[in-house]
Amino acid sequence: MDTLDQEKIADIREIVYNFFSEECDIPQAKITDNTNIITDLEGDSLMLLSLLEIFRKKYGLSIELKSLGKHLMKKPANTIGDVVNLTVQIVRHGDNILNVDM
């Protein structure tokens, strides 16, 4: 993993943390990678799609929801850390995420 990747991962992490902090009205300091999106933050699918839209604009993502849905059925994104990892993989692989072992 090169330096650019590390910078991008840090950027993605910051966006995810900021997003859920604002959406769920919770101080960012109370959110960790282990925070559960459903049980701890009362998050839902619209939040995840809104977050994806932010990344679509920022990185020009071209993933289709059908691919993402199939991926999430195999590997659910339950925690903030899962969402960060998922977003990193989407930015890297787009629709090929289905063929990637995470």
Which stretches of the chain bind other proteins, using CB under 8 A?
45-46, 49-50, 52-53, 56, 63-70, 72-73
Q: How far apart are CA 87 and CA 53, in angstroms?
A: 11
Nearer to other proteins, 63 or 83 (CB): 63
Nearer to other proteins, 10 or 38 (CB): 38
Kindly state the smallest distance separating residue 43's Cβ from other proteins, in Å.
12
Nearer to other proteins, 1 or 73 (CB): 73
Kindly state the smallest distance separating residue 66's Cβ from other proteins, in Å.
5
Q: How far apart are CA 70 and CA 79, in angstroms?
A: 18
Nearer to other proteins, 65 or 102 (CB): 65
DSSP H or E run through 84:
helix 80-93
Classify each residue of 26-47 as buried b or exposed e, where b means 16 or more C-beta atoms within 10 Å of its C-beta.
Answer: eeeeebeeebebeebbebeeeb
For 64, phi then psi, to 5°, come to -95, 150
Kindly state the smallest distance separating residue 82's Cβ from other proteins, in Å.
17
Q: Which residue has the tokens 């991962």?
A: 9
Kindly state the smallest distance separating residue 56's Cβ from other proteins, in Å.
7
